[in-house]
Amino acid sequence: MEENLFILLNGRRYSSRIWKSMAQKTDRISLFKIGGHDTLSLSDRTMGHLQSLPERQGQGIMSPKSDIRSAHKKLVQSRRNPVPTVDVIIEIKNKAGKKGIILIKRKNPPFGWALPGGFVDYGESLEKAAVREAKEETSLKVILQYQLHTYSDPGRDPRLHTISTVFVAKAKGMPKAQDDAREIRIFSRDEINFPLAFDHRQILDDYFRRKELKKEPRPKPGKN
C-alpha cells in the first residue's frame, strides 16, 4: 500500500519509496496538506540530499536536480498565508465606578498602547484564543459578548501580514499587567486621545461608532 503513495511537490510526484530511503540520511521531512494532497516541507539539508540523488523513472519521478530547490521555493512562496490573531475590547468599570475599556502598553515592538490580544494557537478557536490572551495580559477572566469585526489590511502589523478578529468582552475586578503588557490602565473614551499601535485606533473608532448606533433613545418623560 505504501508503494502507491505519492507526494506532490510543485506539480511533480515522488513515491514514498524514495523518501523512505532518505530517512536515515536526512533530518525530519514535514508533511502538510494542500488541496487534499500530501505536500513536503523540506529543509536545506534535505534539499542537498535530494540534489545528490539520481533521477528516477517510473513510479518515483524525480525532477531535474536544478529544478528541485526552485520548485520548493515557488511552492513555499505561493502558499504563504496571513497569520490569524485576536484582539479584545474589554468593557470594565474603574475604581470610581466609571465605565471604560482596558489598554495595555506593549513591552515588545511595535511599542505603544494597544488592545489586549495576540496570536491564535494551532488547534485553538478564535473565542478561546481571545479569552486566553485577555487572561495572559490583564489577569482578568473575560466573558465574550460579541464579535465586532475582522481586520485584514496587509499593513496593519509591521511584523507580518495578520488577520485579526476583534471581540468585545466584559470583565470585573482590577487588571494587572502581565505577559506582553508593560503597563495597563482603564481608559474612558475621551481619555484615548493619543496614537495606538497597529490599527487599533480604527478598531476603537468602529467600536464607538457601533455603540452610538446601537443606543436606544431615552423614553420621553410622561405627563402627570
Positions annotated as catalytic residues are 183
Please state, in angstroms and rounded to a whole number, the distance separating the CA atoms of residues 157 and 133: 17
**How far is it, in rounded angstroms, from Cα 54 to Cα 120?**
42
Q: How many residues does the chain have?
A: 224
Grid coordinates standing for 122?
Answer: 494551532
Distant-in-sequence contacts of 155-161, Cβ < 8 A, 24+ apart: 156/198, 156/199, 157/85, 157/110, 157/198, 158/109, 158/110, 159/109, 159/110, 160/83, 161/82, 161/83
- For 58, residues 6+ apart whose C-beta sits below 8 A from its C-beta are none
Give the 3-state secondary structure of residue 129: helix
For residue 47, count CB atoms less than 10 angstroms from its CB and return exposed for 0-12, middle for 13-18, buried for 19 or more: middle
Spatial contact of 194 and 185, defined as CB atoms under 8 Å apart: no
